[in-house]
Structure 1
Amino acid sequence: MNSPKELKRELRRSALERRDALDPCWRIEASLEMAEVAKTVIDIKPGGIVSGFWPMRSEVDVRPAMFALRENGARLCLPAILDKSTIVFRELVRGAALVDMGFGTAGPGEEAETLDPDIMLVPLAAFDARGHRIGYGAGFYDRAIARLTAAGHAPRLIGIAFDCQEVPEVPDEPHDVVIPEILTESGLRRFEPPL
């Protein structure tokens, strides 16, 4: 029998193959539509902090959604990789230079203010109908969310994906963080917390 890690690896691989097969022009249109949905369904108080991510490979381009939320008064931040296990969130300011963060992504440099997000737009490779997600395997977001929660700051978590990334069931592991909401091209889905 395959271990949860092996099952996740296979689910990740197949979900990413489906995502990679999407027409690039369609992905752009879907990302823009998702931004319109985000602007209307994600409430943000003026000055509230939203973390997004700079897209890599065939990910949803979440930048239009981030900028739509900025129009609604949000301060934006992006993850910055500090080492092989830690990310923090640095403020994204208009006109500020971005630096290479590895993994094909970019983020604000060390001079940017470190922020604790109120809302986290979370990248993922795959998800199921319970809100369980598979990331890219490094655990950066699981650890960052656990650190924020332990410090008394529990951000609203919204996964960002295309519908084709849904899988029948993600194997449960103790360190996994359930994502209660996922935004896809079909809209914002909310998952009931386990009893």
Structure 2
Amino acid sequence: MTLMDKESARAHFRQRRAALDAAARKAAADGLADNVLAALPELEVAPGSTVAAYLSVGSELSTAQLLPALVRAGYDVVVPICEPDYQLSWARWYEGVPLARSPRAWVDEPVGERFDHAIMSRVPLILAPGLAIDAAGNRLGQGGGYYDRFLGSLAAAPNRPLTVGAVYRHELVPAGSFESTDLDIPLDGAVTDEALTWFGNQASGRTV
């Protein structure tokens, strides 16, 4: 794959997602849930911990199986809320939580108490959505900028959570497949329906 600018890459990966049928999407969602749940003990993310995930929409790699599986396994789950100035807050997700359409993005969000950035001090793992991730950990987002700013804000945190992007297996691509800039904060890893892969320093000693 040759280097694509971000807009061309977004169009490419959106087109490939649109071509996936319902069976393929369901299988990928099942695999995502299995791989995340299997990895948590080795990552020393114990039940009772809070995991930051995302409430999938459209053709995103679905968390419809993952989120309830995390709750049943004893984890607290928080998902993002789009706030003004492209900032994120967080709200608890549980089965049956009331949802409302965000006024700022094409996503549904839980109705209820919102938590600011400080909640990340007790979150050991963040599962972030993306359109693609390359082997250097660069994440291609939808272009809204919410996660770019959020991940950037974590870069200097003393106890920064592990950051793992969730993508379909064909969206984990070689380094240099799409444009990245100095403002893009590399992820620690990527999880697909096939495996959990670590990048850079996180790859050392990781066998998940």
Q: Secondary structure at the match of 1:27?
A: helix
Q: Secondary structure at the match of 2:78?
A: strand
Q: Does the 8 A contact of 1:158 with 1:181 survive in 2?
A: yes
User: What amino acid is aligned across from residue 77 of structure 2 in structure 1?
Assistant: L
Indicate yes or no: 2:93 matched with 1:92. Answer: yes
Q: Does the 8 A contact of 1:18 with 1:165 survive in 2?
A: no
Gaps of 5+ in 2: 203-208
In structure 1, what is the Cα distance between the partners aligned to 2:156 and 2:135? 26
Q: Does the 8 A contact of 1:121 with 1:160 survive in 2?
A: yes
Q: Does the 8 A contact of 1:52 with 1:63 survive in 2?
A: no
Q: Secondary structure at the match of 2:5?
A: helix
User: What amino acid is aligned across from residue 129 of structure 2 in structure 1?
Assistant: P
Residue of structure 2 equivalent to 1:68: 69
User: What amino acid is aligned across from residue 174 of structure 1 in structure 2?
Assistant: D
Q: Deviations over 1:122-174 (max 9, x none)?
A: 10012212221111112211211222444534111111011222344232311
Superposed, 1:165-184 pairs within 5 Å as 165-168=171-174, 169=176, 170-184=178-192
Residue of structure 1 equivalent to 2:195: 187
In structure 2, what is the Cα distance between the partners aligned to 1:54 and 1:189? 22
Superposed, 1:99-114 pairs within 5 Å as 99-101=100-102, 102-114=104-116
Identity of aligned residues (%): 25
- Aligned mate of 1:121, from 98, 103, 127: 127
In structure 2, what is the Cα distance between the partners aligned to 1:75 and 1:149? 23
Residue of structure 2 equivalent to 1:145: 151
Q: Does the 8 A contact of 2:137 with 2:187 survive in 1?
A: yes
In structure 1, what is the Cα distance between the partners aligned to 2:189 and 2:107? 24
Q: Does the 8 A contact of 1:18 with 1:164 survive in 2?
A: no
Which range moves more in the overlay, 75-84 or 43-52?
A: 43-52
Show structure 1 runs of 4+ deviating over 4 A.
none
Q: Deviations over 1:71-129 (max 9, x none)?
A: 33211011001114111111124433112125331122353455323211110012212
Residue of structure 1 equivalent to 2:47: 46
TM-score under structure 2 length normalisation:
0.81
Distance 1:167 1:148, change over 3 A: closer
Q: Does the 8 A contact of 1:15 with 1:167 survive in 2?
A: no
Distance 1:128 1:64, change over 3 A: same
User: What amino acid is aligned across from residue 189 of structure 2 in structure 1?
Assistant: E
Name the count of aligned residue pairs.
190
